[in-house]
Amino acid sequence: MLSATRHRDTGLDPDKELGLPGPSPDKPASDQEIQPAVLENVDQEKQSQPGSPDDATGPALGRWNSSRLNIVRFFTTIYGFIIMGMNDAAIGIEPYYHVTYTMISLVFLAPFLGYLVAALSNNLIHHVFGQRGVAFLGPMCRLIGYIPMACHPPFPALPVIMLFPGFGNGIEDSAWNAWVGNMQNANELLGFLHGAYGLGATIAPIIATSMVTKAHLEWYAFYYVMIGMSVSEWVLSVAAFWTATGRVHREKHMSAAGEKRTTTRQVLREPITWLVALFLLGYVGVEVALGGWIVTFMLKVRHAENFAAGMVVTGFWLGLTVGRIVLGFITGRVGEKAAITIYLLLSLALQLLYWLVPSFIASAIFVAFLGFFLGPLFPAAIVAATKLLPSDVSPPFHDDIALTWASKLIARP
C-alpha cells in the first residue's frame, strides 16, 4: 500500500503509480471528481497505519496482521471461539437430577432460542454499541449463565439459565464471523477461527470427563473452568475492541441507499440470506447429530468399550478441527462452490463407509476423515455468501450485517 511519504521520496505521481487517471491539466480536480478507487485506497492506507486516527477508532480492514491492534483482536476472537466450542461439554446432568433424555433436551434447546434472540438484535447492538458492545455482552452473558450452573440450581431453572450463554455465543459467533470474513485470505482465517471452535469441542469432553471420572467431582465443577475462561475473555475482548464504538460502526456501514442503517428486514429480503441459513442449518444439524450419535453407534453397533467409543468422538472433532485449518488453504484456491461440492461428496461417501463397513478400526478412521471434510463447509459457506450478497444490502461485510443472520439463525446449540 502506498503512503504519502513514499510518493515524496520517490517523486512518483500517486495516480500514475496506482494506474488511475489523474486530473485534467486544464481543469483542477474537485472533491466530486476524485476517483472512488483513490478514496478507497487512501482509506485503507489510513486504517493500516498504526498511528492513524482510524486505527484508534476501529479495526483495520484488509489483513489480520495490519496492526498490533488487529492481531490482538484476531486472537481474542480465536479465544472466544474456543470457549464457544467448550460450551456444552458438561456430563452427568441426567443422573444428578434423575430426569429423562427428553427433559435434558430442553437444556440444549435453550441456547438455540438464545441464538435466535441474538439474530434479531445483533444488527441493533452493532448500530448502537459497535463491536465494543459485542465484546462486552458476549462474555458477560456467558457468565450470567455459567455462575448459576456452577451452583447446580433446581432443574427447571437450567433451560432459563442457558438462554444467556446462547445469546452471548450468538452475538459473538456472527460478529466475529463477519469481521474475519471481510479480511484478505478469508478462507484461511475462518478456517483457524472455526478450527478454534473444533478445538474447544475436542478438549472440553476430555476435561469434563476427567473431572468427573478421575477427580470424582460433580458435573457442575466443569463450569468453574468456564467461568474462569469467560472472565479472562471479557477482560481481553473489552480491552481489544474498546475503540470499536457504535459511532465508528455507523460511519462505516451506512446503506448505499442513503443515511439510514441497513436493517434486518432489508437483509431478510435477500434470497441468498435464506439459502445460506438453510444450508448451514442442515450442516450444523449433521455436525451436532454426529457428535452425539457416534458414541451410541460405536457402543451398540460396533460393541466398543466406553473409553474407545469416547476416543472415536474425539477423533471426529479433531478431524473437524484439522480439516478447517488445513483445507482452508485449499478452498480459496479451487473456489468455494467447487470446494463445497467436493467436500459434500466425500463426506457422503465416508458416512456410508462408516455405516456399512463392520469394523471398529475402519469406522474410527472413516469418522475422523468425515470430520476432516465436514469441517471446512461452514467457513466456506460464509465466504461464499459474502461474495453473493449485494453490496447495497451488506456494507463491506466487516462486522455483522447480512451474513450474521445466516451464521446465528442456524446456531450451534
Query: What's the pLDDT band for 259 if we cut at 50, 70, 90?
Result: low
Q: Answer with the residue of higher pLDDT: 266 or 196.
A: 196
Of the candidates 93, 310, 108, 105, the residue with the CA atom closest to the CA atom of residue 218 = 93
End-to-end CA distance of the chain: 42
**Rounded Cα–Cα distance for residues 352 and 168 (Å):** 36
- Mean pLDDT score of the chain: 78
Give the integer Cα–Cα distance in Å for 62 and 72. 15
Whether the predicted model's global pTM rises above the 0.95 cut: no
What pLDDT is attached to residue 391? 54
If you average pLDDT over residues 313-319, what whole number do you get? 90
Flag the least confident range among 24-33, 143-152, 314-323, 385-394.
Answer: 24-33
- pLDDT value, residue 101: 74
Of 360, 368, 361, whose CA–CA distance to 322 is shortest?
368
pLDDT at 262: 61
Whether residue 248 has pLDDT greater than 50: yes
State the pLDDT confidence band at 263, using cuts at 50, 70 and 90. Answer: low
pLDDT band at 3 (very low <50, low <70, confident <90, very high): very low
Q: Above 60 in pLDDT, residue 411?
A: no
Domain over 69-253+264-391+401-409 is classified CATH 1.20.1250.20: yes
Q: Which of 294, 302, 316, 303 is nearest to 370 (CA)?
A: 316
pLDDT tens sequence across 133-184: 999 999 999 999 999 999 999 999 999 999 999 999 999 988 998 888 888 8
Confidence of residue 401 (pLDDT cuts 50, 70, 90): very low
The alpha helices in 61-220, defined as continuous H runs, are 68-85, 93-97, 101-150, 157-161, 163-181, 186-213
Beta-carbon count within 10 A of 256 CB: 10
- The DSSP bridge partners found for residue 261 are 254
Domain ranges within the chain, ordered by starting residue: 69-253+264-391+401-409
Mean pLDDT over 241-251 rounds to 89
Kindly report each contact of residues 207-210 with a partner whose C-beta sits within 8 Å and lies 24 or more positions away, as own/partner: 207/86, 207/89, 208/89, 208/90, 208/91, 209/91, 209/310
Q: Give the integer Cα–Cα distance in Å for 306 and 293.
A: 14
- Mean pLDDT value of segment 15-44: 44
What pLDDT sits at residue 36? 43
- Report pLDDT digits (tens) over 173-225: 889 988 888 888 888 999 999 999 889 988 988 888 888 888 889 989 999 99
Confidence of residue 273 (pLDDT cuts 50, 70, 90): confident
C-alpha 161, offset from chain centre: 23
Amino acid at 374: L
- Which of 13-22, 59-68, 146-155, 265-274 has the highest mean predicted lDDT (pLDDT)? 146-155
Provide mean pLDDT across the span 112-128. Answer: 85
User: Within 13 Å of residue 360, how many CA atoms lie on the same side as its CB?
Assistant: 15
pLDDT tens-digit readout, 61-106: 478 888 899 999 999 999 999 999 898 666 678 788 888 877 877 7
- For residue 313 the three cell numbers come to 468422538
C-alpha cell at 25: 491539466
d(CA 23, CA 11): 17
